Amino acid sequence: MLRQVAEGVLIHESEFLQSNAVVVHGRAGVLLIDPGVTGDEIACLANDLSDSGQPVVAGFSTHPHWDHLLWHARLGAAPRYGTARCAATVRARLSDAGAKARVAALIPPDIAEQVPLDLLGLITGLPAEMAQIPWDGPQVRIIEHQAHAPGHAALLIEERGVLVAGDLLSDVLIPMLDLNDTADPIEDYLAALRLLEGAADDVDVLVPGHGSIGGADQVHARIDQDRAYVHALRDAGVPGDPRVGPSATFGKDWLPGMHERQLQHLAQRSERDGTPG
């Protein structure tokens, strides 16, 4: 079921990790950001859109992780985009014959059968200098940064006051750093939060890739919460964060030990480099 969060902006929530697909109304159809997770859910979204006479005219994946790269034949054959770095990463990771089996192994077993991988990751990279999604609708500014995954992008729909944050600024998942692709994952994450902070004053509605929609009052609060977590990780401190430990909504079921794994990885990294973080 589609739910309006701002004028011309609707979300479709998945049962998996409270994932949010975002629909933006344009002149001739809709832009669909991170379409969803299970085949049934995406088909349901496709039905809702076709019932309301709204074809999908463009797609966008916020980053190169499987749960943001899915598609369904019923959504049609609109161009699907990501940042150039996102698309290059997808190409590098998915072009060999064993790729889909590797992806399937990452999906929680209880939903693995329901996730359609046929059209996984068929995205076109937008040139790095392209600051907006090319489509006929409200301007969607691409705020690219190097946190969580290569070429991760948040999207700002200025006219509607909506920030689509990808996998940053979640109220249910801790910041998950990109520990494999960057020299300084802590600083990269903090830089991304500063970028989003620069856009925050224009935001009335915050849509995280996973978790609850936030109002204007939530934007700075979630930026601060993510920053406090990243600082605690950097200083090997104990984060006083409701997203870690027994109070966590998803962390303990879907991503058990994620915080401990990040701590351990960073400790090994600083041992190797002789530098903190």
Q: How far is the CB of 259 from Zn ion (least distance, A)?
A: 17
Tell whether residue 167 is a contact of Zn ion (CB under 5 A): yes
Tell whether residue 188 is a contact of Zn ion (CB under 5 A): no
Please identify, among the stretches 133-141, 197-205, 208-216, 217-225, the one whose residues bind Zn ion according to the rule CB under 5 A.
208-216
Q: Which is nearer to Zn ion, 57 or 123 (CB)?
A: 123
Tell whether residue 144 is a contact of Zn ion (CB under 5 A): no
* Residue 72 near residue 120, CB atoms below 8 Å: no
Residues 27-66 that bind Zn ion (CB under 5 A): none
d(CA 3, CA 165): 18
CA angle 259, 262, 265 (to 5 degrees): 150
* Residue 59 near residue 24, CB atoms below 8 Å: no
Tell whether residue 67 is a contact of Zn ion (CB under 5 A): yes
Q: Taking the C-alpha atoms of 277, 244, 216 and 31 in order, what is their torsion angle to the nearest 10 degrees?
A: 80
Q: How far is the CB of 243 from Zn ion (least distance, A)?
A: 14
Q: For Zn ion, how many residues bind (rule: CB under 5 A)?
A: 3
Would strands 162-164 and 153-157 be described as parallel, antiparallel, or unpaired? Answer: antiparallel
* Residue 16 near residue 47, CB atoms below 8 Å: no
Tell whether residue 241 is a contact of Zn ion (CB under 5 A): no
Which residues neighbour 170 within 8 Å (Cβ) at sequence distance 6 or greater?
208, 209, 210, 211, 222, 243
Please identify, among the stretches 35-43, 112-120, 130-138, 163-171, the one whose residues bind Zn ion according to the rule CB under 5 A.
163-171
d(CA 70, CA 188): 26
Q: Which is nearer to Zn ion, 70 or 244 (CB)?
A: 70
Q: Which is nearer to Zn ion, 126 or 165 (CB)?
A: 165
Q: How far is the CB of 155 from Zn ion (least distance, A)?
A: 15
Q: How far is the CB of 149 from Zn ion (least distance, A)?
A: 9
Contact positions vs Zn ion (CB under 5 A): 67, 167, 209
